[in-house]
Amino acid sequence: MAATLVQRCALITTGGTIVSRIDPATGLAMPVLSGQDLLQAVGEEAGDVEVHDFCRVPSPHLGPRQWVGLAPLAQSLLDRDDIAGVVVSHGTATLEETAWFLDLTVRSDKPLVVTGAQRNASARDFDGPRNLLTALKICRAPAARGHGVLVALNDHVNAAREATKSHTVDVETFQSGEWGYLGSVVNERVTFHRSPLRRLHLPLRSPELPRVDIVPMYAGADGALVRAAASAGARGIVIEAVASGHVNGEMHEAIVEVMREGVPVVVSTRIPRGGTRVGYGFAGSSALLVEQGAVLSGDLSPWKARIVLMLALQQGDASTEALARLFES
Residue positions annotated with a catalytic role: 17
Dihedral pair phi/psi, residue 73, rounded to 5°: -65, -45
The answer for 46, left when phi > 0, alpha when psi is -120 to 50, beta otherwise, is alpha
What 3-state class would DSSP assign to 113?
strand
In terms of Cα–Cα distance, which of 13, 113, 14 is closest to 65? 14
Based on C-alpha coordinates, what's the Rg of the chain? Answer: 21
The answer for 86, left when phi > 0, alpha when psi is -120 to 50, beta otherwise, is beta
- What is the number of other CB atoms lying within 10 angstroms of the CB of residue 321? 8
CB-count exposure of residue 186 (10 Å: 0-12, 13-18, 19+):
exposed
Spatial separation of the C-alpha atoms in residues 242 and 302, rounded to whole Å:
11
CB 142 within 8 A of CB 93: no
Spatial separation of the C-alpha atoms in residues 139 and 143, rounded to whole Å:
9
CB 286 within 8 A of CB 279: yes
CB 243 within 8 A of CB 273: no
CB 59 within 8 A of CB 43: no
